[in-house]
Chain A
């Protein structure tokens, strides 16, 4: 198998299986299968687990660039779209669990929460901002948007900050776990800042960049990815 085939038939299916595993485990928990359980408050458990899984995928998405640069494995970029889409998927399940299972479709409560509770305002904004990124994740949209695609997808930075903030703010007292996420996000952002400064002033992207990136995503060449 060449590299492209390995990604298509091995690594991506494996990553997909790993991505659906948390959901499968939660479904087993909800149905009390295989000894899994969501505990005495399954609704809260489901909300929190989906939220944390979304956050994990968001940070994994952001770690693709540093990892591929530090390991010299530029082909890892091919996994990034799936990681990002899993982040979006779990964010949607997280929000749906909150709206359907927790608020029981009480839209008045939802409106009040979004307006009055800053941590929900923040989380909801992060979800809304993720939506255009998910919708423009296809090859076709990348081609159509050209250079603007990358600018649009830089939204991932404020989204990640909002999502981690959302986690931090909803914790009652013990902020050790959210602080861990703050720390990891800070490292990932610091990496970009340092690299950007090391390279001096941001250069204008070469005219060929979007095209080169596109080919990398469709899986034939490595890309000058510099997000």
Chain B
């Protein structure tokens, strides 16, 4: 039946206790604005979760970004349920602190790293990216994050590291959607190493200048703007460098429908729907449908990664 869209007050997006934790969690890379000096226990103003970042117009599109309610109220995050509204209602169950990421595989530096440690020395920037879901809807999102390349370089991947595999948290108590087997949990995604090192590929910790709402993949997610949204894995707890192409969640679930590459491509349809056009969420009445662009509009930057590849075969 119809559901009410939860009216999202900024303070509801991340529970106050998480705001406070963030302060210690993200201290370092994520310096907090002046209001952080409020005594603990005082009700958290929205600014509590603000991040310090600089805008990066070079990597931003000029289209107007979607509203926060749209970006944080319309999510595919099956760990919290398979409809679009469930994640915003359920994701408060996820505890984003403490949070650590295991780094393994073909790299010189491996081990478990606290998120705070991973963020050290990464300058945050805001990039307004297009986001194209494989279901043929799209958003424009002001992410806050840092290039994945800077993070991966820290681990000194070896020459055998041809791919990078990412894994989402598996914990059905915090992610009740994992109690049903709609996908093989945990969710896994992967990139070729050159895709991972591309300057457009972003590790995201924030949205609209604040820490990422849980339903958008807190505390750490990937954003690969030229690929369908499912490649941009959320709530990452593990990074593996490997010699072989990893088996990724949607590719395992339906290999004919979801390829490993999943580059946005208006010429290659999904077997059950067209990818030639998309509907922009929140666009004016009868003006939402627009043509889908090759590589989601990022062809000039990334098409060369796929030189000579048959993109129909490697979809």
Contact = CB atoms under 8 A, between A and B. Distances in A.
Nearest to A30: B285
Interface magnitude class on chain B:
20 to 34
Given A113-B274, A118-B272, A40 B282 contact: yes
Contact of A40 (B69, B180, B254, B286): B69
The bracket for how many chain A residues form the interface is 20 to 34
A37 B88 CA distance: 15
Most buried by B among A25, A35, A44, A100: A44
A123 to B, nearest CB: 12
Contact of A39 (B5, B135, B269, B289): B5
B286 A104 contact: yes
A67 interface: no
B216 to A, nearest CB: 13
Contact of B5 (A37, A101, A174): A37
B115 to A, nearest CB: 29
Contacts of A49: 1-2
Given A29-B2, A116-B269, A173-B183, A43 B288 contact: yes
B151 interface: no
A169 interface: yes
A156 interface: no
Contacts of B1: 49
A170 B272 contact: yes
Contacts of A104: 286-289
B68 to A, nearest CB: 11
A109 B279 CA distance: 13
Interface of B is mostly: loop
A103 interface: yes
Interface in B281-315: 281-282, 285-289
Interface string B57-71: 000000000000110
B206 to A, nearest CB: 20
B182 A36 contact: no
B286 A39 contact: no
Interface in A42-61: 43-45, 49
B84 interface: yes
Q: Which of A39, A100, A169 has the most CB of B within 10 A?
A: A39
Nearest to B72: A40
Chain A interface, >50% SS class: helix
A123 B127 CA distance: 41
Interface string B246-289: 00000001100000000000000100111011010110011111
A101 B4 CA distance: 21
B82 A173 contact: yes
Interface string B114-151: 00000000000000000000010100000000000000
Contacts of B74: 39-41
Contacts of A109: 274, 276-277
A116 to B, nearest CB: 7
A115 to B, nearest CB: 11
B79 interface: no
Given A39-B74, A41-B281, A25 B2 contact: yes
15 contacts: A26-B2, A29-B2, A36-B2, A37-B2, A39-B3, A40-B70, A40-B73, A40-B282, A41-B74, A41-B84, A41-B281, A117-B274, A174-B78, A174-B182, A176-B180
Q: Which 4 pairs between the two chains have the least Cβ-Cβ distance?
A: A40-B74, A174-B82, A40-B70, A37-B5
